[in-house]
Chains A and B, each alone.
Chain A
């Protein structure tokens, strides 16, 4: 727990009320350094594992040496051939980085949705946001609109429109029910069903080659076409992720409900709008490069709450790191478990996430009023 570390002295010795209060207040809402360090180490370990595992049979030591050689001021002789190097730098690393960005985005968006909807079950996928984004992206793909430059690609924009429609509609369906976790999800189910149908219809109108392309993207997979996808998603992660991080405190205030938040000087409507906008844009950007990857936004924040803290000051940043590690790890499995064949990464996250979701429902059954 975040408050467990007893070694920290009160921050102001001249006025130190009973240490219990001072210490707990000092640690309140704060991400403790050990937890942050743990998450960073886990992410680094997963990254290293992923970079050194794969079908090309690159040796662990050689990969590490090659990577170290790329660091400034480090000069190590690389044992990899030019071809192997290009596998590492043009296939494996972009995919690893993309996986981390997508995972971090989805987990962060999930944590933020959970905060603004005051609903532990909110997740980009379960809210129908992913489906909406997917529909927008399919339309863009179908009409050959996936043109553009880096972050200014048409695909994320179309996906964002779809995502916004879906999240607004889910919220509207559950109107007056911000308090009921179930209603919002039912709204999300309705939207997901609607957009899936619309998507299926749209795909049916496409040519056969386009159809195959769109379907493989829909399953949720991290494509391997060099760094272009990273270049599309990266700016969104920085921009939207930054906004979400800056609004972490609002999410903590919103935990006491709109009414009390208002009496505490927060404008809940405005905060919600900003956070939903940023989370939806982030989801849309992630969906437009990776397709529909379910449950990352649900599983990761829950694990963070279970292990570290319920405070969004902690949950949002740790979900970003945890989501990155989670998806990079899952994608390493997706590439290697059935090698030389590949599993869509979305299939594995669903295999992991669906039982987890059931478990959360099971545990919460007694707490959530009908």
Chain B
């Protein structure tokens, strides 16, 4: 089933090579098993798309990797260490935007994992944040309160906080669900560019299968807490498998070289891409 390339043989170095290994990861909320034994590997610089229906366990897997939920099994960096805030940066689906907090302040929170219990941000931290804001073209908004930003600007601010963590692994939970088509692609292109220039690894949970296929090197399809397919987008997005997992007839097409997943003509109201 796993057709993905084996994780890079490069051992996590001082620069923080981003290989992540999940083995038999299980998460239960009371009697409900959200994850039932997930095995996953992530190579340095790779973009892994997590797809699957609502409630399949995509968010839970990301939260487990970020250390936000208790889990059984192992989640480790290739060096064997459990990841922390300096290794993994999570962009939550619905981030809380504190009233009155400016974009620069929000991004500066991303330096928190690097600080000791009673330490405060140094000049270096502030410089890192200033350059992150510049890279995301947010310098104009740096002093502006988060609550006064548009959707696309907000998403970039949240991304800025994650990038300020300087973590080699970036976890995105539905990063573009609140954005229109144009802004969605802008944000994803931006992340893709950062990944290519900085060698960041990305795990992105996404609803839109076509978009997921377009940006990801590899897709992992999750259903009922298990990975049911893992590999190149074209091999994972098989119409029969998708129709079973999403419990609705789906067809897969290629238009101008891009994969497009469409509902079968009769089932118009069911799946929303």
Contacts and interface: CB of A to CB of B under 8 A. Distances in A.
Interface in A1-56: 3, 10-12, 15, 17-29
A22 B130 contact: yes
A116 to B, nearest CB: 14
Contacts of B100: 305, 309-311
Contacts of B107: 25
B104 A24 contact: yes
A338 interface: no
A311 B108 CA distance: 12
Interface residues of B, number: 47
Interface in B190-232: none
Interface in B127-163: 127, 129-131, 133-134, 138-140, 142-143
B109 interface: yes
Given A21-B134, A22-B130, A259-B92, A29 B142 contact: no
A17 B126 CA distance: 11
B131 A15 contact: yes
A253 interface: yes
Contact of B126 (A25, A249, A259, A262): A25
A111 to B, nearest CB: 14
Interface string A270-305: 000000000000000000000000000000000001
B67 interface: yes
A310 B100 CA distance: 6
B255 interface: no
Nearest to B120: A249
B104 A257 contact: no
Given A24-B142, A311-B105, A264 B85 contact: yes
Nearest to A19: B139
Contact of A252 (B109, B110, B113, B119): B109
A246 interface: yes
A260 B95 contact: yes
A256 interface: yes
A252 B102 CA distance: 12
A28 B159 CA distance: 18
Nearest to A311: B105
B123 interface: yes
Interface residues of A, number: 40
B222 to A, nearest CB: 20
Contacts of A27: 104, 143
B126 to A, nearest CB: 5
Given A28-B105, A255-B101, A311-B101, A21 B112 contact: no
Contacts of B129: 25, 28
Contacts of B114: 265
Contacts of B92: 259-260, 263
B126 A11 contact: yes
A266 interface: yes
Contacts of A257: 96
Nearest to B85: A265
B121 A17 contact: no
A171 to B, nearest CB: 19
Contact of B68 (A20, A255, A259, A305): A259
Nearest to A10: B130
B30 interface: no
A29 to B, nearest CB: 6
Interface string B73-108: 000000000001110111010011011111111111
Contact of B139 (A17, A255, A264): A17
B118 A246 contact: yes
Contacts of B68: 259, 262-263
Contacts of B131: 15, 17, 21
A20 B66 contact: no
A180 to B, nearest CB: 14
Contacts of A26: 126, 130
Given A17-B134, A266-B112, A24 B98 contact: no
A17 B66 contact: no
Contacts of A23: 142-143
A10 to B, nearest CB: 8
Contacts of B134: 17-18, 21
B81 to A, nearest CB: 14
Interface string A78-92: 000000000000000
Nearest to B114: A265
Contacts of B121: 29, 249
B112 A25 contact: no
Task: Please provide the 10 A-B residue pairs with the shortest distance between their CB atoms, ordered closest to farther.
Answer: A310-B100, A265-B113, A24-B142, A265-B85, A21-B139, A24-B143, A17-B134, A255-B98, A18-B139, A24-B104
19 contacts: A12-B123, A17-B133, A19-B139, A21-B131, A21-B142, A24-B102, A24-B104, A25-B129, A25-B142, A249-B112, A256-B98, A257-B96, A259-B68, A260-B96, A262-B68, A263-B85, A264-B112, A265-B114, A313-B120
Interface of B: 66-68, 84-86, 88-90, 92, 95-96, 98-110, 112-115, 118-121, 123, 126-127, 129-131, 133-134, 138-140, 142-143, 165
Given A28-B102, A264-B85, 11 more contacts: A3-B143, A17-B134, A20-B139, A21-B133, A25-B104, A249-B112, A256-B98, A260-B92, A260-B96, A265-B85, A310-B100
